[in-house]
Every structure is written in structure tokens, then in C-alpha cells.
Structure 1
Amino acid sequence: MTVPNPQQPNPQQPNGGQPASGQAKPQQGKFNLEGYRAVAAIVVVVFHAYQHNRYGEHWFWPLEGTFWHHALMNTDMLVDMFFILSGFLLGYPYAKAALGVGKPKPARAFLLRRAVRLIPLYLIVVLVVWAISNPVLPGDWRDLVLHLTFTHVWSNEKIFYTNGPAWTLGVEAYFYVLLAVLGAWAQRRLPRMRSKSAQVTALLTGTAVLIAISLVYKFWAVYAMRFPVDGWSIWFNPIAKLDIFAIGLLLAIACAAGLRWPNAGVRTLVGLSGAGVITLGIWLRYNHMPETFSHTFFGAGIMLVVAATALSLADGPRWLRWAPMVSLSTVSYSIYLWHEPILRVIDGTRLLPRPGDPAAFYVTAVVLVAVAVPVAYLSYRVIEVPAQRVMGAFDRQGRPRDYYLPLPSVTRPVNPSHNGHL
């Protein structure tokens, strides 16, 4: 995840938009998931502050042997949350269109909106960091080309180079193209089916195939090829993460099909089930399950936690809608992309304490958050907001507007009191 922050569509109400007799009215407006994205972004920043404070010849972790060390080491599942949210929020309009309850979404317009939303900031961050890291031309031009073409995710050497978090944007780019292609096909073909159950089955089957492709790839990589654990491009490429994105698509299909939790008790049970699946994934991780399969469990568990809120007929926890959380969510993409370069700059000033003491980690985390958040707000206003205005040059189909077309003729209304005379 990427930390994309798409405009969240309204959930489709069941029963043709009318609540059933005695049923609570479905939530209106957003899915109220901003809090998840905000927490994920801040926790990722804190983890990288922790990672920065490894010390000694063998790179010891400052809190190693404590509960907090294990908690921080499992925060990588929050990157899976970004993929789940992307699959859900971006797949939802396509699922509605495929089920005949929403307007078709042109692939051109979808990809253009994604590009306008994400690429300008991504390019600026990559170019700035690369230029600083390569003051003498031609520099590491191969690394630059790989990042500019989103192909660094296939390079074991460069996948985390220049800006480590940028790998998720490379993965997301492939998911966007895949969703545009498959979504365009589904919304054109599936509405022709005779029943809604057949449409839902087709969507679920197609999504299950995507999950199966990813799992088969993982089995091949782990048990057939026995790739090493530091084969980063093997475990972090789009195919390896496809199952997590597709799990988010499952939630989008369920939401578009009208699935809702009837009461708070069911919602709580779903959320607790998700927490249980996440706990199982952690337990398996510590019991020699290959790392890549643990993330499949994390994705499934996170999907259930998100579903507890997204498919609720009532508002979810208040903290998800808390104004500071919503505000942080708005700038979470900038937080995510800028925090690592900021950490490198701060570290270069030698203002941070030397690694080796837990206190050094705490200071690093506080300083990094304190600097990264204001920079993110500035970045959002200066880069992200102006970039999104580019969409005004295109129509809803994603085609450039023709500003030279003649204005439509306007017929001046006649005042009856004048009896047709001036």
C-alpha cells in the first residue's frame, strides 16, 4: 500500500436501496475507515524508527526479548492493510457495476484518477531522493529507471533502494492495471447473466482464481525453488501480494452484493474473528510457517476487522471518525513516502541519539513523527492537491475536454406580461 487515499464511495443499500421492515437504516456517506489508514501510516513510521536503532555487529534490536519487540516486528501486517483497503475501496465500484447496481467505470478514467492521485508525489519523492543520493551524474541511472517505471519490485537489489516504502507503490501500480482490465470485462459481461446469484458467483470465482494464482506461486517459490528468505523481489512482487489485494476484493463483492451485519453483536463477532485469524497468523509465524504465508493469514484477518466496520448498518467505533484520525488519513500517503528520507536527513544532522539503548528508539520515533507529520501536511497542500486538479481537464470518461467547443445556445424566456413584445 501503497498509502493511497481514494474518495470512498457510498455503500450500496440492500433491497434496492430500501431498508427492510424493522431494519436499521444503512450508514450513509463514507465507510468510516480513515482511522485504519491513519494508524497504519503512523505505526509504519514508528517501526522504521525502531529498525533504524539496530546496533552492534549483529544488528541487535533495542527491545529484543520483550513483548514490545515482538509487537513491533509484527507491524508489517499493516502494510497488508493498505492492500486490503485498496482492493476493497477500488474494487467496490466495479463490483457494483458488475452486479448491475452501479454505473460502469471506464478503465481510462479509473487509471487516470489513480495516476493523478499517486504518481506526482511518487515521482517528486523518487527524483529528490535519487538526486541527493547521486550528486554526480550519471549516478545509479539503472535504479532511477527501475523506480520511474515501477519495475524496481522485480529487482532483488533495487526493490528497497532509494526509498524503501516505494516498493508498495510499484506493487499497487500492477494491481490498478489488473483491476482496470478485469473490472471493465466484468461490468460489461456479468450484467447479462440472468440472476444476481450467478453474477456474485462469477465474481467470487474470479477472485478466488487470483488468490489461487498467488498461493500456487508462493508454494512454488518456497517448496519447489527454495528461494532464500532475503530474495526480496521474490516475496514482495505483485504476484506474491496478489492474494492480499484479492482478499480486499472479496470484501468489495460482499459489500456490493448487499451483505450487512444486522446488529452490533454480529459486528463484534466478525471483528473478534478477524483478530483471531491475525493471532493465528502470528502464532504460525513463530512456529516455522514460511513468512509469505503468514501474510495471507494477516490479510484475511484484517479483512474481517475492516468488514466489521464497513458492512455495519450502524456507525463503527468513534475513533475511526475522530477528526484528527480523518486528518491524518488525508495526508497518510505523504507521511508514508516522505518519512524514510526525512529519517535519513535527520540522522545526517547527528541530532539523534546513538543506537543501542531503548531510549534512543523512543527519541527517534518521537522526533520522526514530529517532523514527518507537518512535512506531510505541507506536501499534501503543495503537491497532492494541485495534482488532483488535473482531473478537471478530463471528462468522466477520462477523455480530454474540448475547451473550444461553442457554448450551447440559450433561449431567452419571454415575459408573458409583455404579450410577446419588447
Structure 2
Amino acid sequence: MPTPSTETSSAPFSFEIETRLRDSSSPSTEQIQANGGQFQGRTGTIHTPHGNIQTPAFIPVATQAVVKAVLPESLADEGAQAMLANAYHLFLQPGDDILDAAGGLGKFMNWPGPTFTDSGGFQVMSQGSGLGKVIDMSTVEEPLGDDDIAKGQERMANVDDDGVWFRSYINGDLHRFTPEISMQIQHNLGADIMFAFDELTTLHNSRGYQEEALERTRLWALRCIAEHQRLTEERSHKPYQALFGVIQGAQYEDLRRKACRDLATMGFDGFGIGGALEKQQLGTIVRWCTEELPESTPKHLLGISEPDDIFTAIDNGVDTFDCVSPTRVARSSAVYSPTGRFNLTNARFARDFTPISDTCPCYTCAHYTRAYLRHLFKAKERNAATLASIHNERFILDIVSGARDAINTGNYFEYRDKTLRNYYQMQ
């Protein structure tokens, strides 16, 4: 089995592969066939100016420079290595210029480790179509037209070949995003890893529109690269910021592979895999991308955190990924456990004086019981969301950390199968 490298890089940003899953665990022909192709998973280290990220890694989402209801110090204690914030939201409030003056995102939010920012591409879709949560990985049985919006919704963004006009959800002001403006905002935010401006499509869009959007995203990527290079030279006194290209193409193999081949030649530091896809297609689409993209670059999957999706992503070569789900469900009293997810407000927990999970080492499980947490939720106390969120973030962080260790030690498939069997109560 390959020995993980202990070398460090002197470059401001770099990625080194340590252990490849196909080498450490020697998957059988039957496992490879069940996966639909060779496993691309691996462990590695992303080196950034603000520290290293051991991969694979889950990146908690700090949309507005905060993980909702949780202090950065708490997340550090639970094992978080980096955080991802939203360029669109921080541009609107408080303003990217304020974060630049504060010394960047990390200093502004008192997080000393690596940070990511997305480009605003998701909001182009969600504000433009008015479809809200349509990008939910579920099958679309009755597609809407390319120009349709959901009933009762108002279009807040309009895309053209140069960029996007959109109205602020805060006060209705009209704003313009272009690839250049997205780069300027993200450079001001100062994240270690940024994403190129892209057009995110949905499962409702036609094949023809997917092709148009893919070409628009390719041209925007070239403009992002040029502006990123200009700003990097202009801001040479600042820590280096890496730029990841974003792979779109929905569920079409030829479009996904074309996007990978196009962006692979542009000089990106890494790649994000995004866009519309059905849950059952996740592994296949990720594998298309990792087969095409340079192996030496890190890959980030945008927006997944369910345990089965986590392992599917890791199987097929994802190095980092993010999702708001752990804290979002926590705020409604849903918590993760090794044997599945449950709601703390259930009446059966009123006199349950055990922790959420006996095996969880998080702060919440070490100090509080299910009965107390149920009381906080029923009383609508804000600490309920904080304590449940701490636990949920730790649960996902630990699953991914365990996967990383299992790849390195050669027992990944046993770890994966046992974890999923217990969580989904499978025989």
C-alpha cells in the first residue's frame, strides 16, 4: 500500500495526492462494475496560505461569514478544516470592500484557517428562474420551459452573454455581475479558494439551453482567468488566492466531458463540479469529470452532505465538498446518529436523559441530553439550534475523516458499507 507523503509544499497553493483508493483497497471486479467504472477516490493535502486541508474533507458553509448559530471556535474544536462563504450575499451585505478593509474573510469572521467563496452562479439560477430549490437531485417528471418561472414567483435575475442583471433580495436595488466583477468581489473577500463565475442550469432546462449555458460558462471562465491574473499581480502584497473552474453540463455525458476538456486547458488551480443532476446519477457524473480532469488538481463537489452521497462522491474522486444541510435540518430539530436521522421534538425524548449519540465526541453530546435539547426546541430557545448544529456538523466531519483514514489504512469499503448499513438500517 502506498505510504502517505509527509512532504510540504513551498508554493502558495498546491495539492498532493497521498493514497489512491484503487491501490490501497484493491477493489474487486464486481465492485468496479457495481460502481460503473474504476474508483477515482484518493486522500491528499491541499496547501493554502492559511493552512492545509487534509482530503477528502467536508467544508461547512458560512454563507454570510458565519455558520448559522455556530461560533467558528466551536467548529474548529469539532474538526472543521475550512469554511465556504457566499460572494453574492457578502457583496450585498456588508459589502466586499468592508471585508477587504478588515483583512479578508478569515479575519473578518475570526477564522484562522482556509476559506472558500463561491462565485454567485447559484444565485443566477435561483433568482433568475424563481424555482427556488429545484436543484434538489430529484427526478423532474414535468419539466418547465427554459423561460418559465415557478407559479407565484418573480424573476429577479436576467442572464445575457456578458453577465447578469439582478435585483437585491434585500432592498430591490439593481446590480450587475460579470465574470470580471465576480473576480473583483472574490479577491476583495480574500478567500484561499475562489470559483469562476458560471451559469448554473436546472433539470428543467432543455438540451439546447444546456448547450448555450455551457458555452457561456466556457467563455466566462476565460474572462475569469484573465481578470484573476490581473488582480493577482495588482494585489501581489496579499496572500495568493486559488481559482477553481466550474464544470457544468447537467446529466449529459458529452457536455460534462467537453466542459472538463475545455476548462482543463485554462490553467485553473482546481475544479468545482456543480449543476443539475439526479441523485442516482451523482457517482456517474462525478466519475465522468474526474476521468477527464487533470488528476493532479483538487476537485470540489458543490452542495452535498447526505451520508450515501458523501461516499458516492468520495468513491469517484471528490476531494472536498460543502452543504448547508447539517445546520439547516438542525434548526428544525433533526439530528444525525449512526442509526439514522431523527427529530428531537418527538414526545419519546421528553424523559430521555442520554446524549444524541453515545458514540459521538462532540461538545453537545458530552454535555447535554436529548430531553434537554427537546425542551430547548419546544421552548423555542436559540441555543437549541446551536447545540443541534454543533452535533450535526461533527457527525458529517467525522464520517469524512473516517473515510480518509480508511483509504489510508486500506479498509475503506468495509468502513463505507458498515456506516451506510447502520445509518439506513439495511440488512
TM range (shorter): under 0.3
Question: Which structure is higher in strand share?
Answer: 2
Rg larger in structure: 1
- TM-score, length-normalised on structure 1? 0.28
Question: Which structure is higher in helix share?
Answer: 1
**Greater relative contact order structure (CA < 8 Å, 6+ sep):** 1
- TM-score, length-normalised on structure 2? 0.27
